[in-house]
Amino acid sequence: MKKKILIISGGISNEREISLKTGKQVSIELLKNNYKVKIVEPNYKLSEVIQKFKPKIIFNALHGQFGEDGYIQTILETTNIPYTHSGVLSSAIAMDKNLSKKIFINNKILTPKYFMYYFDKSKKDLINYINKYLGFPVVVKPVNEGSSVNVYICTKINIFKKIELLKDYKKIIIEKFIPGREIQAAIIGLKKLGAIELKPKRKFYDYEAKYNSKAKTKHIIPVNLNKNEYKKLMSLALKAHKLIGCSGVTRSDFKFFKGKFYLLEINTQPGMTNLSLVPEIALYKGISFIKLIEMILRNASKKK
Protein backbone atom coordinates (compact mmCIF):
# COMPACT_ATOMS: atom_id res chain seq x y z
CA MET A 1 0.00 0.00 0.00
CA LYS A 2 1.42 3.36 -1.02
CA LYS A 3 1.36 6.48 1.13
CA LYS A 4 -1.70 8.42 2.23
CA ILE A 5 -1.72 11.83 0.55
CA LEU A 6 -3.97 14.65 1.68
CA ILE A 7 -4.62 17.24 -1.04
CA ILE A 8 -5.68 20.74 0.01
CA SER A 9 -7.46 22.59 -2.81
CA GLY A 10 -10.14 25.19 -3.42
CA GLY A 11 -9.88 28.02 -0.94
CA ILE A 12 -11.25 31.54 -1.19
CA SER A 13 -8.81 33.28 -3.52
CA ASN A 14 -9.53 34.50 -7.04
CA GLU A 15 -7.80 31.33 -8.21
CA ARG A 16 -10.17 28.90 -6.50
CA GLU A 17 -11.33 27.34 -9.77
CA ILE A 18 -7.76 26.63 -10.90
CA SER A 19 -6.88 25.22 -7.48
CA LEU A 20 -9.81 22.79 -7.67
CA LYS A 21 -8.63 21.66 -11.11
CA THR A 22 -5.07 21.18 -9.86
CA GLY A 23 -6.31 19.17 -6.87
CA LYS A 24 -8.51 16.99 -9.08
CA GLN A 25 -5.77 16.30 -11.66
CA VAL A 26 -3.25 15.36 -8.96
CA SER A 27 -5.82 13.19 -7.17
CA ILE A 28 -6.74 11.27 -10.33
CA GLU A 29 -3.10 10.56 -11.08
CA LEU A 30 -2.28 9.43 -7.53
CA LEU A 31 -5.36 7.19 -7.32
CA LYS A 32 -4.41 5.54 -10.61
CA ASN A 33 -1.09 4.68 -9.02
CA ASN A 34 -2.46 3.10 -5.84
CA TYR A 35 -2.05 6.01 -3.44
CA LYS A 36 -4.74 6.58 -0.83
CA VAL A 37 -5.97 10.12 -1.42
CA LYS A 38 -8.29 12.57 0.27
CA ILE A 39 -9.13 16.09 -0.94
CA VAL A 40 -10.06 18.75 1.59
CA GLU A 41 -10.88 22.45 1.60
CA PRO A 42 -8.72 24.74 3.80
CA ASN A 43 -11.59 25.44 6.20
CA TYR A 44 -12.28 25.00 9.91
CA LYS A 45 -12.43 21.21 9.47
CA LEU A 46 -8.87 20.97 8.13
CA SER A 47 -7.20 20.07 11.44
CA GLU A 48 -9.86 17.47 12.19
CA VAL A 49 -9.43 15.84 8.76
CA ILE A 50 -5.65 15.76 9.14
CA GLN A 51 -5.92 14.10 12.56
CA LYS A 52 -8.36 11.44 11.32
CA PHE A 53 -6.77 10.71 7.92
CA LYS A 54 -3.16 10.79 9.20
CA PRO A 55 -1.50 11.53 5.84
CA LYS A 56 2.18 10.88 5.25
CA ILE A 57 2.41 14.01 3.07
CA ILE A 58 0.14 16.98 2.44
CA PHE A 59 -0.04 18.14 -1.17
CA ASN A 60 -0.74 21.88 -1.23
CA ALA A 61 -2.78 22.45 -4.39
CA LEU A 62 -3.93 25.94 -3.40
CA HIS A 63 -3.23 28.97 -5.58
CA GLY A 64 -3.38 32.68 -4.84
CA GLN A 65 -3.91 34.46 -1.55
CA PHE A 66 -3.99 32.31 1.60
CA GLY A 67 -2.64 29.38 -0.43
CA GLU A 68 0.78 30.48 -1.60
CA ASP A 69 1.53 33.54 0.50
CA GLY A 70 2.67 31.81 3.70
CA TYR A 71 -0.77 31.71 5.34
CA ILE A 72 -1.68 28.03 4.86
CA GLN A 73 2.01 27.15 5.23
CA THR A 74 1.97 28.64 8.74
CA ILE A 75 -0.94 26.37 9.64
CA LEU A 76 0.72 23.32 8.07
CA GLU A 77 3.91 23.92 10.05
CA THR A 78 1.97 23.11 13.23
CA THR A 79 1.05 19.62 11.98
CA ASN A 80 4.62 18.27 11.81
CA ILE A 81 3.63 16.59 8.52
CA PRO A 82 5.74 17.26 5.40
CA TYR A 83 3.91 19.42 2.85
CA THR A 84 4.71 20.18 -0.75
CA HIS A 85 6.12 23.33 -2.32
CA SER A 86 7.75 26.22 -0.49
CA GLY A 87 7.64 27.06 3.21
CA VAL A 88 6.26 30.04 5.10
CA LEU A 89 8.89 32.71 4.47
CA SER A 90 9.74 31.83 0.88
CA SER A 91 6.04 31.64 -0.05
CA ALA A 92 5.37 35.06 1.51
CA ILE A 93 8.36 36.67 -0.23
CA ALA A 94 7.58 35.20 -3.64
CA MET A 95 3.95 36.27 -3.44
CA ASP A 96 4.88 39.85 -2.52
CA LYS A 97 6.02 41.19 -5.89
CA ASN A 98 7.49 44.34 -4.35
CA LEU A 99 9.64 42.39 -1.90
CA SER A 100 10.73 39.73 -4.41
CA LYS A 101 11.62 42.35 -7.03
CA LYS A 102 13.81 44.13 -4.47
CA ILE A 103 15.65 40.86 -3.89
CA PHE A 104 16.08 40.35 -7.64
CA ILE A 105 17.45 43.88 -8.06
CA ASN A 106 19.81 43.57 -5.08
CA ASN A 107 21.19 40.36 -6.56
CA LYS A 108 21.63 41.69 -10.10
CA ILE A 109 18.71 39.83 -11.67
CA LEU A 110 17.15 42.07 -14.30
CA THR A 111 13.48 42.86 -13.64
CA PRO A 112 11.24 45.59 -15.14
CA LYS A 113 11.63 49.00 -13.51
CA TYR A 114 8.65 49.79 -11.28
CA PHE A 115 7.21 51.75 -8.39
CA MET A 116 4.47 51.21 -5.84
CA TYR A 117 1.23 53.15 -6.18
CA TYR A 118 -0.93 53.71 -3.10
CA PHE A 119 -4.59 54.60 -3.52
CA ASP A 120 -4.50 57.13 -0.70
CA LYS A 121 -2.15 59.25 -2.82
CA SER A 122 -3.23 61.88 -5.33
CA LYS A 123 -3.44 60.89 -9.01
CA LYS A 124 -2.55 64.44 -10.01
CA ASP A 125 1.06 63.89 -11.09
CA LEU A 126 0.86 60.19 -11.96
CA ILE A 127 1.08 60.62 -15.74
CA ASN A 128 4.07 62.95 -15.46
CA TYR A 129 5.80 60.60 -13.03
CA ILE A 130 5.28 57.59 -15.30
CA ASN A 131 6.55 59.56 -18.30
CA LYS A 132 9.67 60.55 -16.42
CA TYR A 133 10.43 57.32 -14.55
CA LEU A 134 9.07 54.49 -16.73
CA GLY A 135 7.51 55.65 -19.98
CA PHE A 136 4.30 54.24 -21.45
CA PRO A 137 2.97 51.62 -21.87
CA VAL A 138 3.08 50.26 -18.33
CA VAL A 139 1.76 47.18 -16.56
CA VAL A 140 -0.45 47.67 -13.51
CA LYS A 141 -1.07 44.72 -11.20
CA PRO A 142 -1.78 43.73 -7.61
CA VAL A 143 1.19 43.13 -5.32
CA ASN A 144 0.00 39.72 -4.19
CA GLU A 145 -2.02 37.87 -6.81
CA GLY A 146 -1.05 35.01 -9.10
CA SER A 147 -2.17 33.67 -12.50
CA SER A 148 -2.09 37.22 -13.94
CA VAL A 149 -5.31 38.03 -12.06
CA ASN A 150 -6.22 41.72 -12.56
CA VAL A 151 -3.11 42.51 -14.60
CA TYR A 152 -3.49 45.24 -17.24
CA ILE A 153 -1.29 46.83 -19.89
CA CYS A 154 -2.00 50.56 -19.82
CA THR A 155 -1.47 53.62 -21.95
CA LYS A 156 -2.04 57.26 -20.99
CA ILE A 157 -5.58 56.92 -22.30
CA ASN A 158 -6.77 54.02 -20.15
CA ILE A 159 -4.54 53.99 -17.07
CA PHE A 160 -6.93 55.74 -14.70
CA LYS A 161 -9.80 53.49 -15.80
CA LYS A 162 -7.70 50.36 -15.17
CA ILE A 163 -6.20 51.34 -11.82
CA GLU A 164 -9.70 52.20 -10.60
CA LEU A 165 -10.55 48.52 -11.08
CA LEU A 166 -7.81 47.68 -8.57
CA LYS A 167 -8.69 50.18 -5.82
CA ASP A 168 -9.75 47.44 -3.39
CA TYR A 169 -6.12 46.33 -3.18
CA LYS A 170 -5.08 49.64 -1.53
CA LYS A 171 -1.68 49.43 -3.25
CA ILE A 172 -0.51 48.15 -6.62
CA ILE A 173 2.62 47.84 -8.72
CA ILE A 174 3.13 50.00 -11.79
CA GLU A 175 6.00 48.67 -13.88
CA LYS A 176 7.52 49.33 -17.28
CA PHE A 177 6.04 47.12 -19.99
CA ILE A 178 8.73 44.96 -21.56
CA PRO A 179 7.87 43.73 -25.06
CA GLY A 180 9.48 40.63 -26.48
CA ARG A 181 9.13 36.90 -26.03
CA GLU A 182 7.37 35.25 -23.06
CA ILE A 183 9.49 32.39 -21.72
CA GLN A 184 8.93 30.45 -18.53
CA ALA A 185 11.43 28.22 -16.75
CA ALA A 186 10.78 25.49 -14.19
CA ILE A 187 12.93 24.30 -11.28
CA ILE A 188 12.27 21.33 -9.01
CA GLY A 189 14.38 20.95 -5.90
CA LEU A 190 17.72 22.14 -7.26
CA LYS A 191 17.14 20.55 -10.68
CA LYS A 192 16.76 22.71 -13.81
CA LEU A 193 13.64 21.10 -15.26
CA GLY A 194 13.34 23.09 -18.49
CA ALA A 195 11.63 25.98 -20.25
CA ILE A 196 8.74 26.77 -22.57
CA GLU A 197 7.87 29.77 -24.75
CA LEU A 198 4.34 31.13 -25.04
CA LYS A 199 2.80 33.00 -27.94
CA PRO A 200 -0.64 34.16 -26.79
CA LYS A 201 -3.22 35.40 -29.27
CA ARG A 202 -4.17 37.98 -26.65
CA LYS A 203 -2.10 41.06 -25.69
CA PHE A 204 -0.08 39.02 -23.22
CA TYR A 205 -0.20 35.74 -21.28
CA ASP A 206 -3.07 36.75 -19.01
CA TYR A 207 -5.54 34.67 -16.99
CA GLU A 208 -7.64 33.76 -20.05
CA ALA A 209 -4.56 32.84 -22.07
CA LYS A 210 -3.39 30.58 -19.22
CA TYR A 211 -6.58 28.70 -18.44
CA ASN A 212 -8.98 28.97 -21.38
CA SER A 213 -8.18 26.50 -24.17
CA LYS A 214 -10.19 28.69 -26.57
CA ALA A 215 -7.59 31.46 -26.12
CA LYS A 216 -5.31 29.29 -28.32
CA THR A 217 -1.99 30.25 -26.78
CA LYS A 218 0.82 28.61 -28.74
CA HIS A 219 3.25 26.58 -26.62
CA ILE A 220 6.75 26.26 -28.07
CA ILE A 221 9.08 23.60 -26.74
CA PRO A 222 12.01 23.34 -27.12
CA VAL A 223 12.50 27.08 -26.83
CA ASN A 224 14.38 28.63 -29.73
CA LEU A 225 17.42 29.90 -27.82
CA ASN A 226 21.07 29.25 -28.45
CA LYS A 227 23.04 27.17 -25.96
CA ASN A 228 24.39 30.17 -24.01
CA GLU A 229 20.99 31.91 -23.88
CA TYR A 230 19.29 28.75 -22.58
CA LYS A 231 22.01 28.23 -19.99
CA LYS A 232 21.61 31.85 -18.85
CA LEU A 233 17.82 31.47 -18.59
CA MET A 234 17.95 28.32 -16.48
CA SER A 235 20.73 29.71 -14.28
CA LEU A 236 18.62 32.81 -13.56
CA ALA A 237 15.60 30.65 -12.69
CA LEU A 238 17.68 28.53 -10.30
CA LYS A 239 19.30 31.62 -8.79
CA ALA A 240 15.88 33.18 -8.09
CA HIS A 241 14.63 29.87 -6.65
CA LYS A 242 17.59 29.75 -4.25
CA LEU A 243 17.51 33.45 -3.34
CA ILE A 244 13.86 33.27 -2.28
CA GLY A 245 14.58 30.03 -0.41
CA CYS A 246 12.06 27.98 -2.37
CA SER A 247 11.61 24.23 -2.25
CA GLY A 248 9.66 21.83 -4.40
CA VAL A 249 8.74 23.15 -7.81
CA THR A 250 8.78 26.78 -9.00
CA ARG A 251 8.12 28.44 -12.34
CA SER A 252 9.80 31.73 -13.17
CA ASP A 253 8.24 34.02 -15.76
CA PHE A 254 10.59 35.94 -18.05
CA LYS A 255 10.47 38.36 -20.94
CA PHE A 256 13.30 38.01 -23.46
CA PHE A 257 13.97 41.32 -25.22
CA LYS A 258 17.03 42.48 -27.14
CA GLY A 259 19.14 39.63 -25.82
CA LYS A 260 18.23 40.19 -22.15
CA PHE A 261 16.07 38.17 -19.78
CA TYR A 262 13.76 40.18 -17.51
CA LEU A 263 12.37 38.20 -14.56
CA LEU A 264 8.75 39.21 -13.98
CA GLU A 265 8.02 36.96 -11.00
CA ILE A 266 8.57 33.55 -9.46
CA ASN A 267 5.63 31.23 -8.78
CA THR A 268 5.89 28.83 -5.85
CA GLN A 269 2.60 27.02 -6.60
CA PRO A 270 2.53 26.49 -10.38
CA GLY A 271 -0.63 24.90 -11.73
CA MET A 272 -1.01 21.18 -12.33
CA THR A 273 -3.98 21.24 -14.73
CA ASN A 274 -4.17 19.82 -18.25
CA LEU A 275 -3.17 23.26 -19.57
CA SER A 276 -0.38 23.86 -17.05
CA LEU A 277 3.17 24.51 -18.12
CA VAL A 278 5.28 22.59 -15.60
CA PRO A 279 3.72 19.20 -16.48
CA GLU A 280 4.21 20.03 -20.17
CA ILE A 281 7.88 20.89 -19.63
CA ALA A 282 8.35 17.72 -17.58
CA LEU A 283 6.70 15.54 -20.24
CA TYR A 284 8.99 16.95 -22.91
CA LYS A 285 11.90 15.93 -20.67
CA GLY A 286 10.52 12.39 -20.46
CA ILE A 287 8.97 12.82 -16.99
CA SER A 288 5.36 11.61 -16.82
CA PHE A 289 2.77 13.44 -14.74
CA ILE A 290 2.86 10.82 -11.96
CA LYS A 291 6.67 10.92 -11.89
CA LEU A 292 6.54 14.72 -11.60
CA ILE A 293 4.06 14.48 -8.72
CA GLU A 294 6.25 11.89 -7.00
CA MET A 295 9.28 14.15 -7.40
CA ILE A 296 7.30 16.92 -5.68
CA LEU A 297 6.24 14.52 -2.92
CA ARG A 298 9.81 13.33 -2.38
CA ASN A 299 10.96 16.92 -2.09
CA ALA A 300 8.28 17.57 0.52
CA SER A 301 9.58 14.70 2.63
CA LYS A 302 13.00 16.37 2.79
CA LYS A 303 11.68 19.59 4.31
CA LYS A 304 12.36 20.45 7.91
Active site residue 147: yes
Residue from 15, 29, 68, 145 carrying the catalytic annotation: 15
Residue from 211, 230, 247, 252 carrying the catalytic annotation: 211
Residue from 64, 146, 248, 271 carrying the catalytic annotation: 271
Residue from 13, 27, 247, 267 carrying the catalytic annotation: 267
Active site residue 17: no
Residue from 205, 251, 252, 276 carrying the catalytic annotation: 251
Residue from 253, 262, 276, 299 carrying the catalytic annotation: 253
List, as one string, the DSSP characters of the chain.
---EEEEE---SSTTHHHHHHHHHHHHHHHHHTT-EEEEE-SSTTHHHHHHHH--SEEEE---STTTSSSHHHHHHHTTT--BSS--HHHHHHHH-HHHHHHHHHHTT-----EEEEETTS-STTHHHHHHHHT-SSEEEEESS--TTTT-EEE-TTTHHHHHHTTGGGSEEEEEE---SEEEEEEEETTEEEEEEEEE-SSSSS-HHHHH-GGG-PEEESS----HHHHHHHHHHHHHHHHHHT--SEEEEEEEEETTEEEEEEEESS---STT-HHHHHHHHTT--HHHHHHHHHHHHHT--
Active site residue 271: yes
Active site residue 267: yes
Active site residue 224: no
Residue from 10, 197, 265, 276 carrying the catalytic annotation: 265
Active site residue 280: no
Active site residue 14: no
Active site residue 67: no
Residue from 147, 247, 276, 299 carrying the catalytic annotation: 147
Query: Catalytic residue numbers?
Result: 15, 147, 211, 251, 253, 265, 267, 271
